[in-house]
C-alpha cells in the first residue's frame, strides 16, 4: 500500500472518529442560543418564492420549508415573529444579483424571538461598498440558532447582527467569496469582502450590554477579507472553527469584546496581532485553548476578562476540526437532508461520508403505493397527474405533495406519503380511479395534524352530493381503513372532508370467482394473466385468483 493511500485512510479514519464525537445533525441548539426552539413540531408550510417567504412576517409558531431555489428582486424583510423555523430542501439556493443600497440583500429579520434558520444556501452578487444590505441580517433578534447554512458573495456582509440581537448560536456554517469585489463604491472600500459584523457601531449593544454568541464548527474560507468576526460589546465563544482565506487582513476584530477560542485552526498568513486584531478601540481580551495558528505565536490577552462558557459541548482538537469542517459532504455548509414534512437528518452523525439515497424497500405489492418509484419522485404536484390508472387532481394554487415519511402500517413499511394539503373537490386535492365492479378498497392513511382526527370522503361516479362512505383519518396513529364497494363499473373519488390528510397507499382487490374449482372448467369465462396475476372475466365482472385453484 503506497504512502498516499495510507495518508488517505488515516484522514478518513480521523474524520469519521471526529464526526462520531460531535452531533452533526443536532435536534436542538447548544451554546448561547440554546433556548431557540423555533416552530417546534408545527406542520410545515411550503415556500417557493419571495412573496410566500415574506408572508411569514408577523407570524408565530410556524415551520417553513423552502422547496425550490429563487432569486429575490429586493431584500425580503420579516419582523415581529416568534417561534419560527425556516429551512430549505437540499440544494435550494436563495440568491440576489442586486448591488445597490435599496435592493441588495436577501433576508432581513427584525424584532423577533426564538428563530431557527437551517440548511439554506445564500448567494449574493459579490462585494460592493454601496452601504447595501447583507445576505442575512438579524436586527433585534433574540434566542436564535443558525445552522448548516452557506453564505457566499454578500454585497455588504454575508451575515451581520445588530441592534438588540442576543443569545445566538451559529453552527456548521460556511462563509466565502467566489466573485471578485467591485471597487468604487460610495462607502470607500474597494474590497468590501467583510463577511460578519456584530454591532453596527460602538454604541450598538443588546439589552444587557453584551452580545453573547457561539460560533461552532464554522469555516471562513477563500475570499474573506475582514470581519471573521468583527465584534463590538461582545463575549464570543469560537469552538472548532477554521479560517483559511489567502486574502485575509485579519480574522477576529474586537472592540470592547472578548473571545474564548477553543480547538480552532487559523490556516492564514497572519501574525497573532492580526488574528485577534489589536488596532481597534476599546478594552479587549482573548483566551486560546488548544488552538493553532499557521504562523504560530498565539498568546492570550487579558485586558478584558474573557467569559468562559458554562454550557456543555464537545470539543475536537484543532486538527480534527479542520478535517471535519472542510469535509465536502459532512462539513460546514448546507449539507443536511430536509424533507417537506420538516424532517431533518444526515448520515454524517454515524461518522460516514454521505452516500446516495438507496431505493426504497417496498415490502408489499399494493395497487398504488406512494413509496414506489412511479410516485416518490413527483414532489409538488400542481396539475392533474395520472399514474397507473390513479389520477391525482391538483392545481398551482391547490397542490398536493409527495414527501418522504417513514411509517409502518399493518405490517407494511412506507417511505413516502401523499399529502392532500386540504379539503377535496372533483377538480383539486382529490384522487380518482376506475373500478370494474364489486371490490375492496383499502386506504393507508393518517390525519396531517397529530391532534386532530379527520375524515376521508368516498364518492362514486362524480365528486358531488353525499359521500357513499367515509373513512376515519386519525391524528394519533396511521391505520389501514377499508371500504367494500358493491355495484357496477364506475369511478371512485377520494378526498378530505375538511383539512389535510396524508395517504400512504391505496389497494384495490376484486373477489375471487365462485363455482367450479378450476379455470379450465369455466367455458363461459375468458382468462388472462397480468403482472403474474391470473384474472378471469365472467358475467361482465372481473375476478382474480392467486393460483390455478379458485377459492
pLDDT of residue 73: 97
Q: How far apart are CA 503 and CA 496, in angstroms?
A: 10
CATH number of 368-506: 2.60.120.260
pLDDT of residue 374: 82
pLDDT of residue 348: 87
Q: How far apart are CA 526 and CA 341, in angstroms?
A: 47
Global pTM value: 0.65
pLDDT of residue 364: 60
What residue spans define the domains of the chain?
23-59+72-348, 368-506, 510-551
- Please report, for residues 212, 291, 321, 322, the alpha-carbon distance to residue 316 in angstroms, rounded to integers and kept in the order given: 22, 10, 6, 10
- Please report, for residues 77, 239, 256, 354, 371, the alpha-carbon distance to residue 104 in angstroms, rounded to integers and kept in the order given: 12, 31, 30, 35, 42
Q: How far apart are CA 244 and CA 229, in angstroms?
A: 14
**Lookup: cell for 289:** 485553548
The answer to whether 163 and 194 are in contact (CB under 8 A) is no
List the one residue out of 392, 417, 393 whose CA is nearest residue 406. Answer: 417
Q: How far apart are CA 535 and CA 551, in angstroms?
A: 13
Beta strands in 105-188 (DSSP E): 107-118, 121-123, 136-147, 150-152, 159-162, 166-171, 174-176
Q: How far apart are CA 129 and CA 194, in angstroms?
A: 10
CA dihedral over 186, 187, 190, 195, signed as positive or negative: negative
Give, in degrees to the nearest 5, the angle at Cα 45 between 496 and 168. Answer: 150
- Please report, for residues 36, 395, 437, the alpha-carbon distance to residue 170 in angstroms, rounded to integers and kept in the order given: 12, 39, 60
The answer to whether 179 and 125 are in contact (CB under 8 A) is yes
**Lookup: cell for 78:** 420579516
Sequential pLDDT tens for the chain (551 residues)? 444 333 333 444 455 556 667 889 999 999 999 999 999 999 999 999 999 999 999 999 999 999 999 999 999 999 999 999 999 999 999 999 999 999 999 999 999 999 999 999 999 999 999 999 999 999 999 999 999 999 999 999 999 999 999 999 999 999 999 999 999 999 999 999 999 999 999 999 999 999 999 999 999 999 999 999 999 999 999 999 999 999 999 999 999 999 999 999 999 999 999 999 999 999 999 999 999 999 988 999 999 999 999 999 989 999 999 999 999 989 999 999 999 999 999 988 755 444 444 444 555 678 899 988 789 888 899 999 999 899 999 998 999 999 988 888 988 888 899 999 999 998 999 999 999 999 999 999 999 888 888 999 999 999 988 998 899 888 878 989 999 998 999 999 999 998 899 999 999 988 865 443 333 333 444 444 444 455 555 444 445 444 433 33
The answer to whether 62 and 38 are in contact (CB under 8 A) is no
CATH number of 23-59+72-348: 2.160.20.10
Give the three-state DSSP class for 5: helix
pLDDT of residue 453: 87
pLDDT of residue 132: 97
Amino acid at each position: 500500500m503506497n504512502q498516499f493511500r495510507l495518508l488517505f485512510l488515516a484522514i478518513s479514519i480521523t474524520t469519521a472518529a471526529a464526526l462520531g464525537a460531535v452531533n452533526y445533525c443536532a435536534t436542538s441548539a447548544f451554546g448561547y442560543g440554546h433556548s431557540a426552539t423555533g416552530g417546534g413540531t408545527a406542520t410545515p408550510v411550503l415556500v417557493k418564492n419571495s412573496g410566500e417567504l415574506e408572508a411569514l412576517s408577523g407570524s408565530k409558531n410556524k415551520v417553513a420549508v423552502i422547496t425550490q431555489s429563487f432569486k429575490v428582486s429586493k431584500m425580503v424583510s420579516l419582523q415581529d415573529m416568534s417561534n419560527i423555523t425556516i429551512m430549505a430542501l437540499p440544494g435550494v439556493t436563495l440568491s440576489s444579483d442586486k448591488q445597490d443600497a435599496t435592493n441588495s440583500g436577501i433576508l432581513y429579520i427584525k424584532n423577533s424571538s426564538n428563530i431557527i434558520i437551517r440548511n439554506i444556501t445564500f448567494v449574493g452578487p459579490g462585494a460592493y461598498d454601496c452601504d447595501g444590505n447583507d445576505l442575512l441580517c438579524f436586527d433585534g433578534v433574540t434566542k436564535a440558532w443558525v445552522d448548516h447554512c452557506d453564505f457566499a458573495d454578500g454585497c455588504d456582509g454575508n451575515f451581520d447582527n445588530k441592534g438588540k440581537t442576543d443569545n445566538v448560536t451559529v453552527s456548521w456554517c460556511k462563509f466565502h467569496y467566489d466573485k471578485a469585489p467591485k471597487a468604487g463604491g460610495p462607502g470607500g472600500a474597494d474590497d468590501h469582502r467583510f463577511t460578519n459584523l456584530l454591532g453596527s457601531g460602538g454604541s450598538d449593544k443588546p439589552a444587557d450590554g453584551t452580545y453573547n454568541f457561539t460560533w461552532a464548527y464554522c469555516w471562513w474560507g477563500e475570499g474573506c477579507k475582514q470581519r471573521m468576526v468583527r465584534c463590538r460589546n461582545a463575549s464570543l465563544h469560537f469552538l472548532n472553527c477554521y479560517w483559511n482565506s489567502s486574502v485575509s487582513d485579519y480574522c477576529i476584530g474586537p472592540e470592547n469584546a472578548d473571545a474564548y477560542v477553543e480547538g480552532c485552526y487559523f490556516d492564514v498568513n497572519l501574525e497573532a496581532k492580526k488574528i485577534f486584531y489589536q488596532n481597534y478601540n476599546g478594552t479587549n481580551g482573548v483566551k486560546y485553548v488548544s488552538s493553532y495558528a499557521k504562523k504560530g505565536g498565539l498568546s492570550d490577552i487579558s485586558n478584558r476578562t474573557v467569559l468562559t462558557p458554562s454550557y456543555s459541548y464537545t470539543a475536537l482538537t484543532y486538527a480534527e476540526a479542520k478535517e471535519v469542517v472542510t469535509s465536502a459532504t459532512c462539513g460546514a455548509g448546507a449539507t443536511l437532508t430536509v424533507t417537506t414534512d420538516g424532517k431533518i437528518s444526515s448520515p454524517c452523525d454515524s461518522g460516514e461520508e454521505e452516500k446516495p439515497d438507496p431505493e426504497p424497500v417496498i415490502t408489499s405489492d399494493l395497487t398504488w403505493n406512494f413509496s414506489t418509484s412511479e410516485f416518490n419522485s413527483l414532489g409538488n404536484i400542481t396539475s392533474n397527474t395520472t399514474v397507473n390508472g390513479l389520477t391525482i387532481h391538483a392545481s398551482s394554487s391547490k397542490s398536493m405533495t409527495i414527501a418522504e415519511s417513514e411509517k409502518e402500517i399493518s405490517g407494511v413499511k412506507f417511505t413516502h406519503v401523499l399529502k392532500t394539503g386540504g379539503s377535496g373537490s372533483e377538480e383539486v386535492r382529490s384522487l380518482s380511479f376506475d373500478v370494474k365492479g364489486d371490490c375492496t378498497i383499502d386506504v393507508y392513511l393518517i390525519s396531517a395534524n397529530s391532534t386532530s382526527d379527520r375524515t376521508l370522503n368516498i364518492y362514486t361516479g362524480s365528486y358531488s352530493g353525499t359521500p357513499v362512505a367515509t373513512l376515519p383519518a386519525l391524528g394519533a396513529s396511521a391505520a389501514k381503513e377499508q371500504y367494500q364497494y358493491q355495484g357496477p363499473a364506475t369511478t371512485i373519488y377520494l378526498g378530505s372532508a375538511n383539512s389535510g390528510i396524508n395517504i400512504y397507499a391505496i389497494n384495490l382487490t376484486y373477489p375471487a370467482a365462485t363455482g367450479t374449482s378450476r379455470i379450465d372448467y369455466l367455458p363461459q369465462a375468458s382468462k388472462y394473466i397480468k403482472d403474474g396475476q391470473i384474472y378471469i372475466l365472467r358475467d361482465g365482472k372481473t375476478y382474480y385468483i392467486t393460483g390455478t385453484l379458485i377459492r
